Structure 1
Amino acid sequence: MKRVLTIFGTRPEAIKLAPVILELGRHPDCFENLVCVTGQHREMLDQVLNWFQIQPHYDLNLMRPNQGLSEFAAQALVAVDQVLDKVQPDVVIVEGDTTTVIMAALAAFYRRIRVAHVEAGLRTRDRYNPFPEEINRRMTGALATYHFAPTPRAVADLRAEQVPETDIFLTGNTVVDALLMTMRRPVKLEYDFSADTRFPILVTAHRRENFGAPFESLCLALLDIVERNPEVELLYPVHLNPNVREPVTRILSGHERIRLTEPLGYEQLVHLMAKAYLILTDSGGIQEEAPVLGKPTLVLRETSERMEAVEAGTACLVGTDRNRIVTTTERLLYDETVYHKMSHAGSPFGNGDAAERIVDILHQKLS
């Protein structure tokens, strides 16, 4: 039996690793399935753990108010190393590109423990966009032993970085597994669109690289969309970061067709995505989830490491330019041909069996 330690700290990591953890749990004769969380996103992380009924064996609870990236990174490296010393796993599984990911991978590397990187190979080639994620995932790629790439593009990017072919595996994206698992379960919505709304639009925006003037620009664009189009209703779960809350509250609060809510549980957001006419987001995960649901997505970023959705035609990069956001949104509202093309473009991120593939590969490699 091989000892597997899965380490994560944020809500997106938890969502994408939950299917892997659950799949590992279906093979108790092959794997000792251990989970460690850093608590990088405390409340939002716990909600996902509860939804997927995952109980961590080690909870480091490292996040503190007003904690900087360097401070968290230093604490995470030391704390994860202490867990590794105690557990002595055969492999550490990480996912994506957060500070938890790079520190966990580095701690494992220092102890010569194999690292399995889920969602490997995503690149923008712009070191500051997204920040700090682009450098986090490049460094994790340099440390990883097994690279579980979600798409052929990610495979190609890993090959371009001279990653050995024998260490690269095309698996699909585990976010599709999590989404399909969640859609099969009934959910009572805490917030919903009005029943008579013709164009319900779901918004999520929180990226660090958009803080300041770009974020104000996108908020003004959202206000324009509602004021110019009386059949539009926006629902916007607002991130807890004050750099998001202040401009959103100042610019968008008080409008009868703009609903600002607290951050939603993962299952709530998934079912709202399914009800939306279209989605405006700067979230990486939603760029992957929306195509599965057939929802056109406008990406509020200047670059994306998930260009597969753009190339497939189900997503469109609009950045944070006020006029471009408004114009592109209105085109989707009133041009049925354009909307139909985007909503039927299909998903390039797999069919929901990524976790099973990953666990099968681990079984082969660790045997």
Structure 2
Amino acid sequence: MTEKRKICVITGTRAEYGQLSRLMKLISKNRKLELQLLVTGAHLSAKFGMTFREIEKDGFRITRKIDIRAGDDSPLGVSKSMSIAVLEFSKAFEKLRPDIIVLLGDRYEMLSAASAALNSRIPVAHLGGGASTEGAIDEAIRHSISKMSHLHFAGAEKERRRVIQLGESPDRVFNFGEPAVDVIRHTRLLKKKELEKKLGRKLKAKNLLITYHPVTLDTESSCEKQFANLLSALDELEDTLLIFTKPNADAGSGKIMRMLEKYTAANLEKCILFSSMGQQAYLSALSMVDAVVGNSSSGIAEAPTFKTPTVNIGDRQKGRIKAASVIDCLPEKENMLNAIRKVYSPAFRKALLKVKNPYGEGGASEKILKVIKTFPLENIVKKKFYDLP
């Protein structure tokens, strides 16, 4: 009997897991593959909702929990978490001996995992390379992971070309679209009454889904000011339900979280705050709200599939490929209010009917599975730098 190819998938945040879950399910069901699932970062933090429980609830068996003490969001705290992560991932790889590791995106946990894989001479398949987010340290992390990876799955053709521009061989760089779209296509969305039960209240005449993450290349004081401007803008809205989700475990998230908790506690009649809504409820809300507001990647990669507008604030997502449903605005109160007003304008609502998601229509996970299942792995860790013609 042929030995199963061992695929090690690593996830550290709720958003990451959401995008990977369809691929994970396909791997777990394939008789020629063995899924090794490592869970780390915010998934193991009470502060961020202990979201590893959602993964287990979805039927996945977690192979190992990698605790990197992700609670300290200071720059020094993040660096400490990264150093712990490199050591703990190295130990896990030594024990599990995966044939290939699957990483998504651009977070520091994934940089640590890629570094450990490089030292262990284990090939890496990287999802989401070639994207650009000029306002965040994610930009440098993402490109660094690409250089430590051996198979690449970009979300759009422009992003595929960027990975090749980094010197990666074209025969190892694929564009199948974003796997996040697959998750949408394979999730049973809640009906309105079901969502209202999950929210604990009825939707209002107007409803916004809001997620604001630290802009990690700005100063903490600048991020606080920008978020204060957002809260001040939201104060101006009438008859609007504000559904907040907490920020990622990035440097500076603690202060934003405290501001958010204080604001929602003082405005209970119009605010709901979630550490994590869970995938089904979040996507259901995304399909029903009037707009996504903030600087989350879900407003860029997922909202357009529902033709839901996005008010994209500031520089965190600057450089990303965007659908026509995305309204960019400066992190100033009046700019934000103008963008929110545009969401409700009849001309803009009419234009939404023609919106297409630039990250594809689905099917990426199945195509990625085929590559990681069949691509020859012998000597794959030795790479030649590809010079552009």
Q: TM above 0.5, one fold? A: yes
Q: Deviations over 1:234-284 (max 9, x none)?
A: 222344843113323455653465303232223222211111011102111
Kept in 2: contact 1:115–1:143 (CA 8 A): yes
Q: Which residue of 2 aligns with 1:159?
A: 164
Q: Secondary structure at the match of 2:187?
A: helix
Q: Which amino acid aligns with 1:358?
A: I
- What is the aligned counterpart of 2:35 among 30, 33, 41? 33
Structure 2: tracts of 5 or more residues without a match: 378-389
Task: Note the C-alpha offset of 1:100.
Answer: 1.7
1:265-304 mapped onto 2 (5 Å cutoff):
265-304=278-317
Q: Secondary structure at the match of 2:199?
A: coil
Q: Which residue of 2 aligns with 1:4?
A: 7
Kept in 2: contact 1:44–1:265 (CA 8 A): no
Relative to 1, partners in 2 of residues 1:332 and 1:39: Cα closer, same or farther, differing over 3 Å?
Answer: closer
Q: Which amino acid aligns with 1:293?
A: F
Task: Note the C-alpha offset of 1:150.
Answer: 1.0
Relative to 1, partners in 2 of residues 1:236 and 1:184: Cα closer, same or farther, differing over 3 Å?
Answer: closer
Q: Distance in 1 between matches of 2:88 and 2:268?
A: 47
Task: Note the C-alpha offset of 1:225.
Answer: 4.2
Kept in 1: contact 2:300–2:310 (CA 8 A): yes
Q: Which residue of 1 aligns with 2:154?
A: 149
Q: Deviations over 1:106-148 (max 9, x none)?
A: 1111122111001221123x4xx212x1221111011000001
1:227-238 mapped onto 2 (5 Å cutoff):
227=236, 229-238=237-246
Q: Distance in 2 between matches of 1:193 and 1:320?
A: 30
Q: Distance in 2 between matches of 1:113 and 1:349?
A: 29
Q: Which residue of 1 aligns with 2:123?
A: 114
Q: Secondary structure at the match of 2:186?
A: helix
Q: Deviations over 1:159-203 (max 9, x none)?
A: 2222111110111111111222223567554216644x3221111
1:228-267 mapped onto 2 (5 Å cutoff):
229-239=237-247, 241-251=253-263, 253-255=265-267, 258-263=270-275, 264-267=277-280
Q: Percent identity, please.
A: 17
Q: Distance in 1 between matches of 2:343 and 2:235?
A: 14
- What is the aligned counterpart of 1:352 among 347, 351, 362? 362
Q: Distance in 2 between matches of 1:306 and 1:314?
A: 16
- What is the aligned counterpart of 2:94 among 76, 85, 93? 85
Kept in 2: contact 1:303–1:317 (CA 8 A): no
Q: Which amino acid aligns with 2:165?
A: A
Kept in 2: contact 1:77–1:107 (CA 8 A): yes
- Count of equivalent residues: 357
Q: Which residue of 2 aligns with 1:100?
A: 109
CA RMSD of aligned residues (A): 2.4
Stretch deviating more after TM superposition (344-353 or 58-67): 58-67
Q: Which residue of 1 aligns with 2:381?
A: none
Q: Distance in 1 between matches of 2:173 and 2:371?
A: 11
Kept in 2: contact 1:120–1:137 (CA 8 A): yes
Q: Higher relative contact order by CA 8 Å / sep ≥ 6: 1 or 2?
A: 2
Kept in 1: contact 2:295–2:316 (CA 8 A): no
Relative to 1, partners in 2 of residues 1:359 and 1:336: Cα closer, same or farther, differing over 3 Å?
Answer: same
